[in-house]
Chains A and B, each alone.
Chain A
Amino acid sequence: MSDWIDACALDDIDEEDAITFKHDGGYYALYRTEDDQYYVTDGLCTHERVPLANGLVMGKIIECPKHNGRFDFTTGEAKGAPVCVNLKTYETDIRGGRLFFKLD
């Protein structure tokens, strides 16, 4: 279980929002949907390496704050120009009111 990372308390993320989490030199984006589902992806946009969590969460979409590239953060799918490369997603778990995610 050592590859499960304790990321944050569930309340650290507002509804329909995201925060950046840094771990061991890596950037991750932690998401909370309007219906309190939690997701984790790589934290930097695959287009220009901009921190995604500063962007806008709309439903299951995160929009990059720099060029408005969109990803489905539940699957990592890039939704069209200017983002062409999918985002890496991570398995999540909730334990004791905290969000964990599993590093590969």
Chain B
Amino acid sequence: MTPTARDYSLVGRDSELAEQNGLVAADWYSVDIDRKEIKRLMRRSDSPAIRDTLIWLGLLLVSGAGGAYFWGTWWCVPFFLVYGVLYGSSSDSRWHESGHGTAFKTRWMNSALYYFSSFLILREPTIWLWSHTRHHTDTIIVGRDPEIATPRPPDIKAMLLNIFALVSTWKTIKALFLHAGGKLTPNEATFVPESERSKVYWIARLYIAILLGVVLVCIATGSILPAMLVGLPSLYGGFMAIYFGLTQHSGLAEDVLDHRLNSRTVYMNPIFRFLYWNMNYHIEHHMFPMVPFHALPQLHEAIKHDCPEPYPSSIAAYREIIPTLLRQLKEPGFFVRRTLPNGAEPVPHNPGAVFQTSS
């Protein structure tokens, strides 16, 4: 069969194919785990996230103040490097974990962190809450999942530009103006319920007002320093979010109902795990999304016997990802087939993933 291009929109041919192939809101493989054990792991706590958030905010404050103090000299560069990564990359994992409501036990703390970190990473909170909900329902199901970072064939130019969040920010700016005008894109309309849409429009107006305010302060002071502290860090500091994020699913199978085949668990060092809030345990997170970030290493130990071998480092993951994406440029049907442990039963690969058309 000759592979044909896939349709990654949520309103196109592959969306219909996903329905026909039984991939929509389907039953996913889950490792058997004792109920008492998973209950223990799911248990919420405020203290790990309060500790990490205080460290995170403290470092943001110190590095931002250092950058501002040394502004105009080369000494500001390391400060803004740290500030940018904490602002534009680490906000991704804070947005993610608080969006799941698992970061803190106390609900309002999750909400506060969610809205704050959404702004830092320049994501509209309501749109992305619903987008991420769909990502968990239909993970890497073509035509259903709005968060497929590397469609096949991959757009390498956009990926490179996104090292500094250029493409994603441009899309966000266009979306903000669309939403501020009271409209959604056709894709968004498939996953944002009517009852949530007015919130989308008002938050878009608020974002625009804040960003315009920063521009006005820059003009008034004749300096881009205000934008270096609010707004621009989403771009110049976004590279670690991409570095972490691409390890999650890139190059792996599409249209399989088994997170062990379409997600990666990658061992990372403690600094990366602080910045990324343990999302390197990504198979574990997708299989049991109620388990908070601080319990993911324990969950990993509990289910690893039934999962593919974890990647020993992010470098090891990229040794697989980069050649795979380059090969997919010419051979979009190619993907990495993860090897399950001996005796583990794989979920049958769905025909939707071999580029069949409906005809």
Chain A interfacial positions (CB closer than 8 Å to B): 14, 17, 48-49, 55-56, 58, 63, 65-68, 70, 81-82, 84
Proximity string of chain B (23-35) to chain A, C-beta cutoff 8 Å, 1 when within and 0 when not:
0010000000001
Report the minimum CB–CB distance from A69 to chain B (whole Å). Answer: 9
Chain A residues closer than 8 Å to B133, beta-carbon distance = 67, 82
| Sample of 9 further A-B pairs with CB below 8 A, known A65-B290, A84-B195 | A49-B25, A56-B44, A63-B101, A65-B288, A68-B102, A68-B289, A70-B101, A81-B196, A82-B130
Specify the chain B residue showing the minimal Cβ separation from A70.
Answer: B101
Chain A residues closer than 8 Å to B25, beta-carbon distance = 48-49
**Could you tell me if B195 and A67 are in contact, using CB atoms closer than 8 angstroms?**
no
For residue B268, CB closer than 8 A to chain A, the reply is no
Chain B interfacial positions (CB closer than 8 Å to A): 25, 35-36, 39, 42-44, 100-102, 105, 126, 129-130, 133, 136-137, 193, 195-196, 288-290
Report the minimum CB–CB distance from B235 to chain A (whole Å). Answer: 29
**Could you tell me if A55 and B130 are in contact, using CB atoms closer than 8 angstroms?**
no
A14 to B193, CA, bound (A): 36
- Which 4 A-B pairs rank lowest in CB-CB distance, beginning with the nearest? A82-B133, A56-B42, A68-B101, A67-B133
Report the minimum CB–CB distance from B287 to chain A (whole Å). Answer: 10
Q: How many A-B residue pairs have CB under 8 A?
A: 42
A67 to B102, CA, bound (A): 11
Q: Is chain A's interface secondary structure helix, strand, loop, or mixed overall?
A: loop
Chain A residues closer than 8 Å to B44, beta-carbon distance = 56, 58
Chain A residues closer than 8 Å to B36, beta-carbon distance = 14
Contacts A48-B137, A58-B44, A82-B130 given: A68-B290 contact, CB under 8 Å?
Answer: yes
**Could you tell me if A56 and B290 are in contact, using CB atoms closer than 8 angstroms?**
yes
Chain B residues closer than 8 Å to A84, beta-carbon distance = 193, 195-196
**Could you tell me if A81 and B129 are in contact, using CB atoms closer than 8 angstroms?**
yes
A49 to B27, CA, bound (A): 10
**Could you tell me if B130 and A63 are in contact, using CB atoms closer than 8 angstroms?**
no
A84 to B130, CA, bound (A): 12
**Could you tell me if B39 and A67 are in contact, using CB atoms closer than 8 angstroms?**
no
User: Which of A17, A49, A82 has the most B CB atoms < 10 Å from its CB?
Assistant: A82
Q: Which one of B39, B137, B195 lies within 8 Å of A56 (CB-CB)?
A: B39
Q: List 14 A-B contacts (CB under 8 A).
A: A14-B36, A17-B35, A56-B43, A56-B44, A58-B105, A65-B289, A65-B290, A66-B136, A67-B136, A67-B289, A68-B101, A68-B289, A81-B130, A84-B195
